[in-house]
Chains A and B, each alone.
Chain A
């Protein structure tokens, strides 16, 4: 099926800190791929590069979709060279479309956050409706006068929202403000919201954090279902090695901003460097804060 994401030699530097150092890996379409590694290894930073939140200092990230390649690390349009009208057009286009976060989202990449970022004062179902902004009829006048086309589009959006709410077992809390939900429910709602955008690739940042054993089992079932039934590629970050090992097709291990191992879960678990990285962390009893200075 071919890769959906190709990360090549991505480095990012925050001041003196090299948070990612020439990270390269590929991800197959419709795979569940886990990125694991100790605290502070750079997993979230990698996600942020992938979803346009950060711009890597070096390297490239390519998203492949329907046989076409999209460079996530380069601005979408060419240059401002040429005639002034072209410059103006370029400027306007730049103003309206060049936001990398927005652009990545439009390419079908959707994500959740390590610290939940729901629209707290909006209800669960409203959160999911917002996620469908680009697929509903958002013309001003059709909405104000509620044309049949608009009502149809809203109905479709609602059906989809209910679908994902039910999928995550949230239908009973649909009309509760997201900020008032219990932690576990917020986590699930965030995943439902990410799915409501109809993504090709979903990036989950520590989805199992703070969940109990039963909830983690439910989560694993959901993730497998996303891949098998909904044909979605799932990239997920995990801090704990054991938790999602049995559902991942491939695992990338990050430590100190570098890929130290990559392979199937079985291969990775046996890799001495991985064992060392994890044992090292346990000995220190705290995530390594000091980083290799560059």
Chain B
């Protein structure tokens, strides 16, 4: 065992043992806490989900190409099906159990997976698996925060540990489940090539494309603030995307020696883009509709032309290279730059370019989820309501004491910050950027995503982003008709669903009965 692994393993082993013990305890509580009928339901649930998983997994994972012939390997797919069914059992059980037990159970899950890794994988890979489990758990926690919006939890303990099953069991029910499984699927998706290493279903190309889709979701969430909520038609959104991408390339180029890498560049560049958004906001404060559209269009072009012409600074039309992101200082290259350590050497595993794609994909997924989360919160916050009020009637909102200057500027600023993050991801994903990536067409695509998806909507925008970025990949041969396709899609959507694919459903407020009792002279109750 090498030095590195000892350092890494000791806490993990302690965690494992502790978690196993906790898990054992939890299982006892778990079983006691539930009555028989609940058990029946749980098992039925798990069986149904397992059956669905069987149908899905057996053909995909079970069939393996070996020496030019298909071999049927049932064990592997059954293992997966088992995992899914057990997972479902866990969820439905946890929904029914109390918070404390849920926390123990969560710990047990860590322990079980660690032990699983311990028995089934050789030494070096084990560390990777442990790492992956921890990352997945971190994402699960993030997801909880996403699902938990608006919910009050009963204790600080449950707040820290989270309790997604409880959240799912709330009124949202199905939607919460669906979301959880979708996100879970997206998180696990990139690991498929490792499980199915002989004949991976998902290739680096797929991961790259999906990453780009996630970047578009991120961008669309930003533009959704400006266009969807605040109603400011912005045709130059790509400018902030460019600021993000070039900001990343320039910052890492000039400040790289001070240790400013991907993770530092992310907030710095987002702030840069936000600043650019604010600057654009000032001159257009008093503009509406067509005029605003034309000025923002011009702004987008100005930025692009600056990038082309400031050759000393941006290398002009030849573009710049942008560094790839690192994981806690570990690089994803075969051989590291001087001073760096490549990931595969650190973990003593063979080099595989896929790691990098998986990593960027996961980073993009996390940031896109964060963007969705922030957008969702914004929409329900005072500032979000003020944006919508401004869109509906600027004068009336001023007469309610809303400062239209700050409200408008904040829409431009926050929207641009999203675009800045998108730009950094784009640059890191591509490794190379040039002004030709930031033309008006790009603005048009992002705007189409928002308009087609439904202004202000989240689900609609995600669907539209997926359609508009994945379909062109499927029909690569028809590439020259791409814009035509967009145009047609726009026209049809405008005819068929003028509000976009999914019209925003307004948040419903429920009146608490205890607070009732206002006098009601209009209905004559006061008398």
A-to-B contact residues, CB < 8 Å: 51-53, 95-97, 99, 101-102, 104-106, 110-111, 113, 117-123, 125-126, 129-131, 133-134, 136-138, 140, 143-144, 146, 151, 158-159, 162-164, 166-169, 171, 174-175, 177, 188, 193, 197, 218-219, 221-222, 224-225, 229
Interface stretch (choices B87-95, B303-311, B387-395): B387-395
Which stretch of B46-54, B185-193, B513-521 is in the interface? B513-521
Interface size on B, residues (CB 8 A): 43
Interface status of B68 (Cβ within 8 A of chain A): no
The 8 Å CB contact of B523, one of A177, A193, A218, is: A218
Report A-chain residues with C-beta under 8 Å of the C-beta of B511.
162, 171, 174
Q: Which residues of chain A are near B259, meaning CB under 8 Å?
A: none
Q: Give the residues in chain B near A102, CB-CB below 8 Å.
A: 398-399, 401-404
Contact A221 B405 (CB under 8 A): no
The residues of A that contact B521 with a CB separation of less than 8 Å are 167, 218, 221-222, 224-225
Chain B residues near A218 (CB, 8 Å)?
Answer: 521-524
Q: Are A166 and B518 in contact (CB under 8 A)?
A: yes
**Chain B positions near chain A (C-beta within 8 angstroms):** 149-150, 152, 374, 377-378, 381-383, 385-386, 388-389, 392-393, 395-406, 410, 506-509, 511, 515-516, 518-524, 526
From B410, B516, B520, A169 is in contact (CB under 8 Å) with B520
The interface centre, meaning the residue of A95, A119, A167, A171 with most chain B CB atoms within 10 A of its CB, is A119
Interchain CA distance A192-B401 in the complex, whole Å: 15
A130 to B521 Cα, complex, angstroms: 24
Contacts A119-B392, A130-B386 given; indicate if A197 touches B523 (C-beta within 8 A): no
CA–CA, A101 to B521, complex, Å? Answer: 30
B399 / chain A contacts, CB cutoff of 8 Å: 51-53, 101-102, 104-105, 110-111
Q: Are B516 and A166 in contact (CB under 8 A)?
A: yes
Q: Name the residue in A126, A133, A167, A197 with the highest tally of chain B Cβ atoms < 10 Å from its Cβ.
A: A133
Q: Which residues of B contact A175 (CB under 8 A)?
A: 506, 508-509
CA A138 – CA B406 in complex, angstroms? 12
- Contact check, B385 vs A163: say whether CB atoms are below 8 A apart: no
15 contacts between A and B (CB under 8 A): A99-B403, A105-B399, A106-B401, A122-B392, A122-B506, A126-B507, A130-B389, A158-B509, A164-B518, A166-B518, A167-B518, A171-B511, A218-B521, A218-B522, A218-B524
Which residues of chain A are within 8 angstroms of B519 by Cβ–Cβ distance? Answer: 167, 225, 229
CA distance A143 to B508 in the complex (A): 18
Query: Could you tell me if A143 and B393 are in contact, using CB atoms closer than 8 angstroms?
Result: no
**Interface core residue of A143, A225, A229 (most chain B CB under 10 Å):** A143
Residues of A within 8 A of B516 (CB): 166
The CA-CA distance from A270 to B196 in the complex, in Å, is 96
Contact B395 A53 (CB under 8 A): yes
Which of these, B150, B396, B404, B406, contacts A119 with CB under 8 Å? Answer: B396
